[in-house]
Amino acid sequence: MQQYNPVTPKILTELKAIVGEKYAFDDPDKLETYSRDETPDSKYAHQPEVVVLPGTTEEVAHVVKLANRERISIVPRGAGTGLACGAVPVTGGIVLSLERFDRIIEVNPEAMYMVVQAGVRTDEVQKAAKAAGMFYAGDPCSGDSCFIGGNLATNAGGNRAVKYGTTRHQVYEFEMVTPLGDIVHLGSRLNKNTSGYCLEQLVMGSEGTLGIITQATLKLKPLPAHVIDLLAVFPDVATAIAIVGHMLRAGLTPTCVEFMDNATVQSVERFLQEKLPNSDIGHYVIIQMEAESEEDLENKTVALDDLCSAHGAISVLVADSQKIWKARKAFTEATRVESAVQSFEDVVVPVNRIPEAAEACNRIAAKVGLTLRMVSHAGDGNIHITLFRGDLPETEWDRRLGSFQEELYEVVYRMGGRLSGEHGIGYKRKDLMQRFTDPVELDMMRRIKNALDPNLILNPGKIFDVE
């Protein structure tokens, strides 16, 4: 990886002059927080040399220009909830946190959009939309902690992507600072636009390697009139996951289809100390449906109940929404109690191949001798696997994890799948990206990175190495 210059005391003074004395610091105890994300393995941590908290887009641009002039690396950071080490400063340098960009600028229910700064928490976006009688459809499970700018940068998915798509489908336009320090607005508040390259879609999902997003105009939708959550419980993983295909082929259009395997259900039950239905044997599929009227809701509920029962469900219940979503969202914390060191995999396959992919995950984990927990945004073909290190010695853990990944990704790519459905490549999956991506495709990505960031100062060492 390319070498960068250190942040000298003189440069720290200059950074303080740009963002304000208290918003640029290098105290080691404060830097620690910015050395990692939510990846539960401390081997990925890297301390920055300095953290800056700019308050305006102009300040961000100034800091980026300085970083170019001095050849210092700079890593944009949202809330640090990422699971791919995208916000980890692997070359030291500057971490630029967007935490002061916390204002909701405008909610316009009439024209169905809202304008927010990049450091607004996703659930605050949802709440502000709802308070105006509208609906923001982005819904990552980390919504109570992640920032909307981080969602754009990672193209976050989440629970409602089955019906509404991922974050990139919720965005009209955004403001960003380019890797050279220019301020630009990408996208437009238009429903169609064929005026040149679609740069906003290139930047969304680029994990902070092509620009620093400071503000976004998001799409709003009318609030659904009726929403229901059903819990279908199945006796085995294959039958549970196969329900996705049955549902889609039957023309039912769920908002969410989430899977939790039985071991995860039991972990969550222990963690929350709340009894969950059929937790002794059941694998869960949580299905959310929206309806225009009570009659429509009743018809859809009956159709789903019939479909799940006909395809092997042990029970189909109208779920206590608050309780079931709390259980679904608690899985990361619940499984962390079982093993402090874990590896999260985030594979995605075509939706019709998801039963095979789930079977492969379990088969390969058993073969290499690793314990796993599985949840899935099943309606999107996206499987989250949590592998436990437990008390394995580090070398043995690395060996087994390497074997698991090697075999699983071979299978996933043969199915037409990819390494990550929503968490991204970051630093953690960079080697796998190199190994599994078409070299021509990777070369195109490198050329884009080189063209937009000629000094390679913005978030180096992420997604792929450039040299």
Task: Please tell me the distance from the alpha carbon of residue 54 to that of residue 100, in angstroms, as a whole number.
Answer: 7
Q: Compare residues 373 and 423 and give the one whose CB is closer to ligand FAD.
A: 423
Minimal distance in Å, beta carbon 105 to ligand FAD?
Answer: 15
Q: Compare residues 257 and 392 and give the one whose CB is closer to ligand FAD.
A: 257
Q: How far is CA 281 from the centre of its chain?
A: 30
Task: Please tell me the distance from the alpha carbon of residue 467 to that of residue 462, in angstroms, as a whole number.
Answer: 12
Of 60, 35, 62, 48, the C-alpha closest to 6 is 48
Minimal distance in Å, beta carbon 260 to ligand FAD?
Answer: 13
Minimal distance in Å, beta carbon 422 to ligand FAD?
Answer: 3
Q: How far is CA 219 from the centre of its chain?
A: 19
For the chain, the straight-line distance linking the first and the last C-alpha, in angstroms and rounded, comes to 7
Minimal distance in Å, beta carbon 44 to ligand FAD?
Answer: 12
Q: Compare residues 78 and 355 and give the one whose CB is closer to ligand FAD.
A: 78
Q: Compare residues 313 and 379 and give the one whose CB is closer to ligand FAD.
A: 379
Cβ-contact 241, 232 below 8 angstroms? no
Minimal distance in Å, beta carbon 4 to ligand FAD?
Answer: 16
Minimal distance in Å, beta carbon 284 to ligand FAD?
Answer: 16
Helices 331-338/262-272 angle, 10° precision: 90
Number of alpha carbons in the 13 Å side-chain half-sphere of residue 460: 24
Q: Compare residues 74 and 316 and give the one whose CB is closer to ligand FAD.
A: 74
Minimal distance in Å, beta carbon 453 to ligand FAD?
Answer: 13
Q: Compare residues 15 and 98 and give the one whose CB is closer to ligand FAD.
A: 98
What is the residue type of 275? Answer: K
Of 97, 5, 106, 92, the C-alpha closest to 53 is 97
Q: Compare residues 215 and 239 and give the one whose CB is closer to ligand FAD.
A: 215
Sign of the CA dihedral 273, 277, 280, 285?
A: negative
Of 58, 34, 56, the C-alpha closest to 45 is 34
The strand ranges marked E within 201-262 are 212-219, 221-222, 226-234, 256-260
Minimal distance in Å, beta carbon 417 to ligand FAD?
Answer: 16
Minimal distance in Å, beta carbon 403 to ligand FAD?
Answer: 26
Cβ-contact 271, 328 below 8 angstroms? no
- Beta bridge pairs of residue 289: 228
Minimal distance in Å, beta carbon 45 to ligand FAD?
Answer: 14
Q: Compare residues 82 and 355 and give the one whose CB is closer to ligand FAD.
A: 82
Q: Compare residues 70 and 258 and give the one whose CB is closer to ligand FAD.
A: 258
Burial of 305 (0-12, 13-18, 19+ CB in 10 A): middle
Minimal distance in Å, beta carbon 225 to ligand FAD?
Answer: 25
Q: Where are the alpha helices (DSSP H) in 237-368?
A: 237-249, 262-272, 294-310, 321-329, 331-338, 354-368
Q: Three-class SS of residue 112?
A: coil
Q: Compare residues 213 and 365 and give the one whose CB is closer to ligand FAD.
A: 213
Cβ-contact 386, 344 below 8 angstroms? yes
Q: Compare residues 86 and 460 and give the one whose CB is closer to ligand FAD.
A: 86
**CB under 8 Å to 22, separation ≥6 — which residues?**
none
Question: 139 is written with which tokens?
Answer: 């819904």
Q: Compare residues 82 and 187 and give the one whose CB is closer to ligand FAD.
A: 82
Sign of the CA dihedral 367, 425, 410, 334?
A: positive
- Beta bridge pairs of residue 387: 343, 372
- Give the footprint of ligand FAD on this chain (CB under 6 A): 37-38, 75-83, 86-87, 98, 118, 140-142, 146-147, 149-151, 153-154, 156-158, 207-208, 212-213, 332, 422-423, 426, 459
Minimal distance in Å, beta carbon 448 to ligand FAD?
Answer: 16
Computed on alpha carbons and rounded to an integer, the radius of gyration of the chain in Å comes to 22
